[in-house]
Structure 1
Amino acid sequence: MKTIKLQPFALCLSILAVAAPVFAQNDLNLPDVSQAAEVKQRIALTDIMVNYHRPLVNGRKIWGGLVPYGKVWRAGANENTTIEFSDPVSVEGKPLAKGTYGLHMIPNQDSWTVIFSKTNTGWGSYSYDQKEDALRVDVKPRPFAENKEALEFDFEDLKPTSTAVTLKWEKLGVPFTVSVNDADQTLQNIRAQLKGRGQFTWQSLDEGAQFCLTRKINLDEALRWADASIQNEERFDNLSTKADILRALNRPDEAKTVWNHALEIANAPQLYTYGRQLQNQKKGAEAMEIFKEVAKRFPQGVYGYLAQARIKSSAGDFAGAANDAKQAQAAAPTDAQKQSIQALITRLDAKQDINK
Structure 2
Amino acid sequence: MLSQRVGITDITINYHRPLVNGRRIWGSLVPYGQVWRAGANENTTITFSDPVTIEGKPLDKGTYGLHMIPGESEWTVIFSKNSTSWGSFTYSQAEDALRVNVKPQPTDPHEALTYDFGRIKPDSTVVTLAWEKVAVPFTVGVNTKELVAEDLHKQLRGLAQYSWDGWDDAANYLLDNNAHLEEALQYEDKSIQNEERFENLLTKARILDALGRKEDATGTRDKALTRATPLQLHLYARQLQGQKKQEEAFAIFRSNYKKYPSEWFVHTGMARIYSAQGDFGNAAKEMKTALASAPDQQKSYVDGLVRRLEAKEDINK
The one-letter amino acid paired with 1:114 is V
Q: Does the alignment pair 1:176 with 2:142?
A: no
Deviation, 1:221, is 1.5
What residue number does 1:4 align with?
none
The equivalent of 2:125 in structure 1 is 163
The aligned residue for residue 91 of structure 1 is 54
Cα–Cα, structure 1 residues 137 and 279, in superposed 2: closer, same or farther, change >3 Å? farther
Cα distance in 1 between the residues matched to 2:6 and 2:224: 36
Tell me what 2:316 maps to.
Answer: 355
- Correspondence 1:68 to 2:31: yes
2:133 equivalent to 1:206: no
For 2:103, which of 136, 140, 143 is the aligned residue? 140
> How far apart in 2 are the matches of 1:347 and 1:161?
42
1:281-301 Cα deviation digits (max 9, x unpaired): 343443333333333333332
CA contact (8 A) 1:294 1:303 kept: no
Match for residue 325 of structure 1?
A: 287
- What amino acid is the match of 1:109? E
Q: For structure 1, list consecutive stretches of 5 or more residues without a partner in the other structure.
A: 1-37
**Contact persistence 2:117–2:127 (CA under 8 A):** yes
1:15 alignment partner in structure 2: none
Structure with higher Rg: it is: 1
Q: Distance in 2 between matches of 1:191 and 1:175?
A: 35
- Paired positions, count: 317
> Quick one: structure 1 residues 243 and 79, their matched pair in 2 at CA, closer, same or farther if it must change by over 3 Å?
same
**Structure 1 match to 2:66:** 103
1:342, 1:74 → 2: CA distance? 65
Q: CA deviation at 1:349?
A: 4.2
| Counterpart for residue 248 of structure 2 | 286
Distance 1:282 1:78, change over 3 A: farther
> Residue 112 and residue 209 in structure 1: after superposition, are their counterparts in 2 closer, same or farther (change >3 A)?
same
Equivalent position SS for 1:278: helix
Deviation (angstroms), 1:171: 1.6
The aligned amino acid for 2:79 is F
Secondary structure of residue in 1 paired with 2:261: coil
Contact 2:113–2:130, Cα closer than 8 Å, also in 1: yes
The alignment's TM-score, normalised by the length of structure 1, stands at 0.83
Q: 1:286 to 1:104 in 2, by over 3 A?
A: farther
Partners of 1:77 and 1:128 in 2: how far apart? 14
Higher relative contact order (CA 8 A, sep 6+): 2
Q: How far 1:332 sits from its partner (Å)?
A: 2.4
Q: Does 1:344 align with 2:294?
A: no
Alpha-carbon distance between aligned partners in 1 of 2:136 and 2:284, rounded to the nearest angstrom: 57
Which amino acid is 2:52 matched to?
A: V
The answer on whether the counterparts of 2:68 and 2:76 sit within 8 Å (CA) in structure 1 is yes
Cα distance between partner residues in 2 of 1:282 and 1:94: 42
Among 186, 199, 217, the residue aligned to 2:179? 217
- Report what 1:235 is aligned to: 197
Cα offset, 1:350, TM superposition: 4.3
Matches within 5 A, 1:111-130: 111-130=74-93
Change (3 A) 1:202 1:173: same
> Closer, same or farther in 2 for the Cα pair 1:135/1:296, shift >3 Å?
farther
Q: Which residue number corresponds to residue 195 of structure 1?
A: 157
Which runs of 5 or more structure 2 residues have no equivalent in the other structure? none
Q: Using the alignment, how far apart are the partners of 1:249 and 1:105 within structure 2?
A: 47
- Matched residue of 1:147: which SS? strand
Against the structure 1 CA distance between its residues 71 and 245, is the aligned structure 2 distance closer, same or farther, given a 3 Å change threshold? Answer: same
Q: Deviations over 1:161-180 (max 9, x none)?
A: 11101111112211111111
> Does the C-alpha gap of structure 1 residues 133 and 285 become closer, same or farther in structure 2, counting only changes over 3 Å?
farther
3-state SS of the aligned residue for 2:16? strand
Per-residue CA distance 1:162-205 (angstroms, 9 max, x = gap): 11011111122111111111211111011111111111111110
Question: What amino acid is the match of 1:54?
Answer: R
Q: For residues 132 and 180 of structure 1, do their structure 2 counterparts lie closer, same or farther at Cα, with a shift above 3 Å needed?
A: same
For 2:13, which of 38, 50, 57 is the aligned residue?
50
- Distance, in Å, in 2 between the alignment partners of 1:354 and 1:149 is 56
| Residues 345 and 155 of structure 1, relative CA distance in 2, 3 Å threshold | farther
- Normalised to the residue count of structure 2, the TM-score between the two structures is 0.93
Instruction: Kindly state the Cα deviation for residue 90 of structure 1 after the two structures are TM-superposed.
Output: 1.0
Structure 1 runs (4+) greater than 4 angstroms displaced: none
User: Is 2:265–2:294's contact at 8 Å kept on the other side of the alignment?
Assistant: no
Deviates more, 1:50-59 or 1:207-216: 207-216
In structure 2, what residue type is equivalent to 1:338? K
